[in-house]
A and B are shown apart, each in its own frame.
Chain A
Amino acid sequence: MSADALPVTGTSGFSRWANDHRKWLFASPAMAFVVVLIIFPVAWTAYLSLTDAEGSVRADKEFVGAQNYLDVLGDTARFWPAVWRTVQFTGVVLLVEVVLGMAIALLLWRPFRGEKWVRVAILMPLVATPVAVGMMWRLIFDPNIGIANQVIGWFGIPEQPWLAGPGSALWTTMLIDIWQWTPMVVLILLAGLTSLSEEPQEAALIDGASGWQRFRFITLPLMMPTVIVAILLRGIDALKTFDILYATKGKGGGSYNEVETLNVYAYGLAFDYNEYGTSSTVLIIFFLIIIGSMWALTSRRKAEY
């Protein structure tokens, strides 16, 4: 039974009106905010993507139809490499974070002494300011004074250029993302593990199933919905990664655009080069990619369960 089925006993006219219309009275300020600050901007971006807006924000702009889209989709110098980097970055960090996150969540699953402290440690990277995290890793990965090269030296691995190398920069930013966001996956999966019922595990144990068998045939299938939620949440954020890329490599993803993903590219077009029209086009395409991949993930989930 919902609360609105009860008669309103307010006395004054306004109070009665407010109570009768509380559904919209409560919801509309937030809705108005969302519409004005979110829906309108998205519509405006779509409009700008069809114009040649550039330079000053007060400058005149002309409607150019699909020209921006043709230009962007035919741009093999900046656009397509940025798409590829976005796919690479998201794919690699998602895979590593989910596998590593599952392993750590399983380690933490059963209670142990000192559990509280491990959980605190897991929370720290998550809440740390991404820009500060980027700066911190810049020092650690510095080819000359950073500790990273010293540490890999102990294992006989030759020195690496890390963030400074055109080929290695993107991989290094992936490492940073994995450090910061694997804990997020751990927390989500741990919440899922804790809510699992014990019976299937006990039954399998009695039947003599090995640890790996219990994980493969019981825990993992039961955990699949939570795993997909983790992939969705992390995937959206990984696609949109900006802070650590901009903090470590600056404008344009570095001098060779080595870490320029779609988000960094769109930001640079708009705010480093003032090409608002082209930037909007990239953003609309980017937005469609995000929606498309989310849809693919959720529809697969529905098909399976």
Chain B
Amino acid sequence: MRGGTAYKAFRVGALVLVVLGLLTPLIWMVAASLKTNVDIYDASKALLFSPTVDNYKTVLEQANYVTFIINSLWVAFASTVLSLLLGVPAAYSMSRFTMKRSALVVLMARVIPGVSLLVPWFYVFSNLRLVGGFTVLVLSHMFVSLPLVVYIMMGYFDGLPTELEESGQVDGLTPIGAFRRITLPLSTPGIATAGILAFIFSWNNFMFALVLSGAKTKTLPVAIFDFVGYAAIDWGGLMAAATVVTVPIMVIALLAQKYVVSGLTAGATKG
């Protein structure tokens, strides 16, 4: 496997194919967002076309996307911060005091289909007249991000030796003081991982916002879905909208690659 010129050539070829297969559709999307609708229909202009930013103008100015971007940012930010505030101490307790059953309850959330929560939420929240507001949206996104934070942070705290906390307590810190001054600063990479993933999952969330958001609180994925409601699809505009939602998250993933990968594969090798 390690030697052989033939294998090396095969490997290079296969890897090139993999990269092309993964990236070409995304490049195609961005390219289409820079074309006029006439050029999108013209196969001869697949790659050679004169780029235009008109689609982005349509999306940002006429279709009100600036509001949706702010909504998405706000919901993702609020749900991430709240999930970290609740999830990090909980994960600490569950890891240090081995609260297996409690952890299991929180992790069940990964298994339950979102729709089965949406039905009762919708019932209760519409009776409270909360549907369409930010509160419900943030709460619903926390349903995804809180278990994620607990899951990632439990793994992180499990791997963090207790000796440092103990020596801090010998030096006069209370247990909570030791958690705050010693464990938390040491956990920054774990918290970054959990936070970035929680943000990405909230930003990408579609189903909860589809039901629970209103005209004023609509997030980007729902706005994109609504884009196709009209008679003929404005492909250029649609691709510009899709690019607006996808590219920021891809840039974050690019910059924080290490954290994103470790979060996505958290606990995978423990079996």
Q: A-side interface residues toward B, CB under 8 Å?
A: 1-4, 6, 8-10, 15, 18-19, 22-27, 29-31, 33-35, 37-42, 44-45, 48, 57-58, 104, 107-108, 110, 112, 117-133, 135-140, 145, 147, 150, 179, 183-184, 187-188, 190-192, 195, 211, 214, 225-226, 228-230, 233, 236, 239-240, 242-243, 246-247, 250, 263, 266-267, 270-271, 276, 279-280, 283-284, 286-287, 290-291, 294
Contacts and interface: CB of A to CB of B under 8 A. Distances in A.
B150 interface: yes
A27 B26 contact: no
Contacts of A9: 169, 172, 174
Contacts of A127: 200, 204, 249-250, 252-253, 260
Contacts of B89: 25-27, 29-30
B204 to A, nearest CB: 5
Contact of B239 (A135, A179, A239): A135
Interface string B104-134: 0110111111111111111110110000000
**B contact patch SS:** helix
B113 A287 contact: yes
Contacts of B268: 188, 191-192, 226, 229-230, 233
Contact of B116 (A24, A191, A287): A287
Given A6-B169, A127-B200, A183-B22, A34 B120 contact: no
A243 B116 contact: no
10 smallest beta-carbon distances between A and B, as pairs: A30-B90, A26-B89, A132-B242, A44-B120, A225-B271, A41-B120, A26-B93, A27-B93, A283-B116, A131-B221
A280 B118 CA distance: 10
Contacts of B220: 129
B190 to A, nearest CB: 16
6 contacts: A23-B93, A26-B93, A31-B102, A33-B146, A128-B26, A276-B123
B23 A121 contact: yes
**Which of the listed residues B25, B122, B169, B241 has the most CB atoms from chain A within 10 Å of its own CB?**
B25
Contacts of B112: 38, 42, 287
Contacts of B43: 145, 150
Contacts of B176: 15, 18-19, 22
A279 B119 contact: yes
Contacts of A122: 18, 22
**Which of the listed residues A110, A117, A133 has the most CB atoms from chain B within 10 Å of its own CB?**
A133
Contacts, number: 310
Interface in B216-241: 220-221, 224-225, 227-228, 233, 235, 238-239, 241
A217 B165 CA distance: 45
Nearest to A32: B86
Contacts of B192: none
B196 to A, nearest CB: 10
Contacts of B106: 30-31, 34
A45 B241 CA distance: 35
Contacts of B110: 236
A242 B81 CA distance: 26
Nearest to B178: A3
Given A3-B162, A120-B254, A27 B90 contact: yes
B261 interface: yes
Contacts of A243: 206-207, 221
Contacts of A211: 1, 7
